[in-house]
Structure 1
Amino acid sequence: MEGVVPPRSGVWSDVVGQPDAVRVLAAAAQAASSQVRGERSPAGAMTHSWLFTGPPGSGRSVAARAFAAALQCERTGPDEVPGCGDCSACRTVFAGTHADVRLVVPEGLSISVAEMRSLVQAAARRPTTGEWRVVLIEDSDRLTEGAANALLKAVEEPPDRTVFLLCAPSDHPEDVSVTIRSRCRVVRLRTPSADAIAEVLRERDGVEPETAEWAASVCGGHIGRARRLATDEQARDRRAAVLRIPLGMTRFADVFRAATGVVATAESEATAANEERNEAEKEELKTAMGAGGTGKGTASATRSANAALKELEKRQKSRTTRSQRDALDLALVDLAGFYRDVLVTRSGARTPLNHPDCDEQVSRAATEWTSESTLRRLEAVLQCREALSQNVKPIIAVEALAATLHRG
């Protein structure tokens, strides 16, 4: 079974540049199908808990969804690799509407213990329409300690026909507790090549070849970022603005201008990304709670509606904060890539640049800065990312960073 090479079609076509992972997952899905039919399957090919790890943009959640779809796929012949992508089960898994696949996509800063307990209870039920009940948790590194403990109990004694799929940046204890990791089979994804990303942009998204190659070369191996850069002019403008910062810090006044600009851009991006959805959620909640009704019991209903609305606004605020941090972190990753390129250029190493379209700016910086000052700037960017992860106020963290970038 481990030798099965799935076709580059169906649900597996979305898993870009991960042939080894696809081979393992396809073999496991085929073994699971054999188990359902009561046939023998290779020992160890299928297990009840999986951990998908890999750098941002490597496609952890995409691989997990493809596997979930393959487990539910209605094409289950003994000589077929499940995951056709065309049957009702495959389509509903990717649409997020399959009755037996529970997707947890955290939008706030963490996954609470209450949410995880509810999820564990749902996971204990037998599948209704499919052969397996699948629980897929994206960003499982956001589990609180209590939530991780609640999940651990379910992973230790999993219900029959229930499969847990966890996604995290790595299997390091900072991302996933050792006790949970030890009960999971780890699928390690790698950064896809620029050629593989460009091919996907051309063939699946219809991007012009030149644009696809450019986006693939500057996205840092992040497939989603490549797609945004190739199709969204505002995303390209935001990246360009960030990459003008290193050589634009000529006066101390530029420190505050740069810091304010970066934070304001992240805030406006987060607001724009969530504003329409927030209003729609509020209107749906008001309608569901009987807003505008008259007659007996309306006072009580209004109080309940107000309480529910406050809870919704709290979740929305957490989601917006998360979006702002993600936007800031993306800007910092671009900055770190620039300083890394300067160090590479100064060393004379024949290594591809993170920002090949900025090679002139990088070469200029490499002649004006020492390696030591460049490294200090790079370390400051990494420290800023760490400060933001520790809930330091964004403007304070970014102003401190900008001061170091100016000083060198």
Structure 2
Amino acid sequence: MMTVWEGLIGQRSAAEELARAAQGARYRLKAAWGEELTGAQEDAQRAMTHAWLVTGPPGSGRSNAALAFAAALQCESDPVGCGQCEQCRSVLEGRHRDVQHLATDKVIISIDDVRQMVMQAQSAPGNGRWRVMIIEDADRMLTATTNTLLKAIEEPPERTVWILSTPSVQDVLPTIRSRCRLVSLVVPPAELVAQQLVKEGRAQDQEVALEAALAAQSHIGRARMLLEPDKAEYRKSLRARLSQLVQVDSVGQALQMAAQIHQHAKEQSDEFLSGQAIEEINALRKALGGEEGGKDTPALKSQIKEKEADNKRRAARILRDELDSTMLDCLGFYRDVLTVQTGSQVPLVNQDLTALVNQSAQESTTELTLLRMDAIAQARRRINANVAPLSALEAMVVSFLPPFKGGEVFI
């Protein structure tokens, strides 16, 4: 029988912790409804709390973990999180009225969206056991937005649960993380991701599925995208680009590679603006009684202007996400290099690039590898701080140069 936890690939420890909490939540409700608990059940209910922070690198399944936990909290059958009852299915399918889900395709989560979530959290659950409020990418909230959320998390109404997700615990304010129970996820092994892809019928054989899982750095969502019928060549190009990036041997080549990465990301962003964004504006115009090519009323112009600004923010997010995907690929490669250099008994993420990983490990030092990883992290921080992306990329790729070139140190 398929439970809600089976979708959390390679996250056994986290799944067990969340399952215990969901069981504890069930005991807590029984006590609130007047049922007498055994001593073991009294102890078990302490596993539940009102606010959770799910952290993990991209591809670890943060959103899946939050949704699985929400389903388990609403579950009516045994075992908790059965995945089969109507409550579980409605949560997993996104149609449960007592589970509110906030995610954004923009650079930041707006304060208005969070205020609306806070207001919704005040209502008692309707047909569910709990009112569950999920905020994905909580690191995209500005300080003022986070402060709006703080009071709601600190003193939530009875039977209200908050679940936030971020890449790391440092990505939210200390005042938020001190009020949440932490659940940490890890990058799942590529083999497990491949097995899941085959199980879902997205790949016919393990070899193709593993190729996609490796190209996606074990990111299950990205791997699914790469297995779409028209993505075979793109899948191969990602691995070729990563190989080229980590083998640059001159400043000129490094700058050229940085420019190519930036151009590719910009093309993805521009494609959205010239396609989907225009379609959405035309649909908005039609819904408000306007005509394509006709003269817009002042009220309609204001709505369209707001929509265009919103689309620009979404395009900026697309550009950043594309760049971040490449930077994470590089980070995964140098993580493998460091694994080899330190003799750690940890499986390589980039198993298809083992020869290149070993070569890089032999030609550099652990100090150099750590400096390169730091350069990648710095580039990510700079882009998130609105530094010109191309400048940040150039500095990052130059750090990949061999330690000595023409007598100069480039790191």
Secondary structure at the counterpart of residue 169 of structure 2 = coil
Deviates more, 1:320-329 or 1:107-116: 107-116
CA distance in 1 between counterparts of 2:19 and 2:350 reads 35
Computed over aligned residues only, the root mean square deviation of the Cα atoms, in angstroms, reads 2.9
The count of corresponding residues between Structure 1 and Structure 2 is 389
CA distance in 1 between counterparts of 2:181 and 2:344 reads 37
User: Taking every aligned residue pair, what percent have the same amino acid on both sides?
Assistant: 39
2:320 partner amino acid: R
Mapped contact 2:215–2:238 kept (Cα < 8 A): no
Say if 1:20 and 1:274 are closer, same or farther in 2 by CA, change over 3 A.
farther
1:293-332 alignment, distance < 5 Å: 302-332=297-327
CA distance in 2 between counterparts of 1:222 and 1:153 reads 34
CA distance in 2 between counterparts of 1:323 and 1:271 reads 9
Say if 1:359 and 1:115 are closer, same or farther in 2 by CA, change over 3 A.
same
Q: Does 1:32 align with 2:35?
A: no
Aligned partner of 1:63 in structure 2 is: 65
1:159-198 alignment, distance < 5 Å: 159-172=157-170, 175-198=171-194
Say if 1:351 and 1:137 are closer, same or farther in 2 by CA, change over 3 A.
closer
Secondary structure at the counterpart of residue 164 of structure 1 = strand
2:186 partner amino acid: R
Per-residue deviation, 1:280: 4.0
1:6-25 alignment, distance < 5 Å: 9-25=2-18
Secondary structure at the counterpart of residue 127 of structure 1 = coil
Aligned partner of 1:210 in structure 2 is: 207
1:209 partner amino acid: Q
Mapped contact 2:254–2:398 kept (Cα < 8 A): yes
Per-residue deviation, 1:306: 1.5
CA distance in 2 between counterparts of 1:144 and 1:70 reads 30
1:224 partner amino acid: G
Say if 1:370 and 1:215 are closer, same or farther in 2 by CA, change over 3 A.
same
Aligned partner of 2:128 in structure 1 is: 130
2:100 partner amino acid: R
Aligned partner of 2:99 in structure 1 is: 101
Aligned partner of 2:80 in structure 1 is: 82
Per-residue deviation, 1:269: 2.7
Mapped contact 2:338–2:369 kept (Cα < 8 A): yes
Aligned partner of 1:4 in structure 2 is: none
Match of residue 222, structure 2, among 217, 221, 225? 225
Say if 1:365 and 1:167 are closer, same or farther in 2 by CA, change over 3 A.
closer
Say if 1:282 and 1:89 are closer, same or farther in 2 by CA, change over 3 A.
farther
Say if 1:89 and 1:391 are closer, same or farther in 2 by CA, change over 3 A.
same
CA distance in 2 between counterparts of 1:171 and 1:377 reads 23
CA distance in 2 between counterparts of 1:375 and 1:180 reads 30
Aligned partner of 2:277 in structure 1 is: 278
CA-to-aligned-CA distance 1:174-204 (integer Å, 9 cap, x gap): x122222222222222232333223212212
CA distance in 1 between counterparts of 2:319 and 2:29 reads 45
Per-residue deviation, 1:50: 1.4
1:231-250 alignment, distance < 5 Å: 231=228, 232-233=231-232, 234-247=234-247, 249-250=248-249
Aligned partner of 1:52 in structure 2 is: 54
CA-to-aligned-CA distance 1:261-320 (integer Å, 9 cap, x gap): 100111223444676542343233223322139xxxx99x82222212222222221122
CA-to-aligned-CA distance 1:138-169 (integer Å, 9 cap, x gap): 01111211111111111122112211111112
Structure 1 portions without partners, runs of 5+: 1-7
Aligned partner of 1:289 in structure 2 is: 288
1:392-403 alignment, distance < 5 Å: 392-403=387-398
Per-residue deviation, 1:374: 5.3
Mapped contact 1:120–1:154 kept (Cα < 8 A): yes
CA distance in 2 between counterparts of 1:124 and 1:304 reads 34
CA distance in 1 between counterparts of 2:186 and 2:358 reads 29
Say if 1:129 and 1:302 are closer, same or farther in 2 by CA, change over 3 A.
farther
Per-residue deviation, 1:47: 2.1
Aligned partner of 1:5 in structure 2 is: none
CA distance in 1 between counterparts of 2:277 and 2:74 reads 33
CA distance in 2 between counterparts of 1:53 and 1:316 reads 28
Mapped contact 1:113–1:147 kept (Cα < 8 A): yes
Secondary structure at the counterpart of residue 136 of structure 1 = strand
Deviates more, 1:13-22 or 1:266-275: 266-275
Mapped contact 1:15–1:63 kept (Cα < 8 A): yes
CA distance in 1 between counterparts of 2:348 and 2:173 reads 35
CA-to-aligned-CA distance 1:307-337 (integer Å, 9 cap, x gap): 1222222222112211211111111222233
Secondary structure at the counterpart of residue 126 of structure 1 = coil
Per-residue deviation, 1:358: 2.3
CA distance in 1 between counterparts of 2:79 and 2:106 reads 36
Structure-1-length-normalised TM-score: 0.84
1:159 partner amino acid: P
CA distance in 1 between counterparts of 2:344 and 2:52 reads 38
